[in-house]
Amino acid sequence: MNEEARRRIATYYDEWDSYESDWRRSDLTTAVVADWLAHNVEPGHRVLDVGCGPGQFTRGLPGDVTVCGTDISPGMLQRARASRPAGTYRLHSYDKRLPPDLGLFDRVIAIGCLEFCSDLALVLGNLRAALDRGGRLLANIAERRPQSDAVVWIESLAAGQYAYAREEVEAAAGAAGLIVRAATPHGAYRNYKTGDIPPYVFWDLAPGDEG
């Protein structure tokens, strides 16, 4: 993602005042993410929420869980901070390694944010580097079906929205040093204007060098 695209995307989300109400109208991710967190987050864990938006997925985690949210939108980070003041929030793009001062994490989620990822192996490698030993990563990625486009260009954002075939995700995960624990097809959102549900896959990933 180039700097111009990052700036435009950040501004778009900064100015999206109705984000949470729009998200609730279309969201199909909450139950999936909540179930994964409930079964995989333990007391004392450190959880990284990548592309955290207003923090809707992690705001309700128990107080003995440390939450860190990253996003490229200052406005979204402000909302996330208001919803869970005890968390740590940082302006950061996933196409760069996480700053070392944030430490390592037991669990990482990247939900509803990888659509703008043009180099999946690079980004998954950056997320892998943020995982502590025994860590797990949950990411949802738009699925490219046969004969469908890999990227849809959005002129107003100077950016593309990307979809990946499953074999492409598996290859990118392997290049990033991750193994696939599970790959579950599940819609991420319902277009509340058309009713369409674009295809997505939820990927449960783990470091591949820990036996």
32 C-beta neighbours (distance < 10 Å), count? 18
190 assigned to some structural domain: yes
39 assigned to some structural domain: yes
CATH code at position 34: 3.40.50.150
Residue 86 phi/psi, 5-degree rounding, is -75, -10
- Please tell me the least confidently modeled range out of 27-41, 99-113, 188-202: 188-202
Q: Report the distance separating Cα 92 and Cα 89, nearest Å.
A: 9
Kindly give, in sequence order, each residue whose CB lies less than 8 Å from that of residue 85, ignoring residues fewer than 6 positions away: none
- Please tell me the least confidently modeled range out of 24-33, 40-49, 67-76: 24-33
211 assigned to some structural domain: no
Q: Residue 166 pLDDT > 80, yes or no?
A: yes
Is the sign of the CA dihedral 70, 10, 172, 144 positive or negative? positive
pLDDT tens string 105-164: 999 999 999 999 999 999 999 999 999 999 999 999 999 988 788 888 888 888 889 999
- pTM for this model (two decimals): 0.94
Q: Residue 45 pLDDT > 90, yes or no?
A: yes
Question: In the chain, how many domains are there?
Answer: 1
CA distance from start to end of the chain: 34
pLDDT tens string 51-110: 999 999 999 999 999 999 999 999 999 999 999 999 999 999 999 999 999 999 999 999
pLDDT-based confidence at residue 2 (cuts at 50, 70, 90)? confident
Closest CA to 50 of 118, 134, 115: 115
pLDDT at residue 210, as a whole number: 61
Residue type at 16 in one-letter notation = W
Q: What residues make up the domain containing 155?
A: 3-206
Q: Report the distance separating Cα 90 and Cα 77, nearest Å.
A: 7
Closest CA to 187 of 78, 27, 71: 27
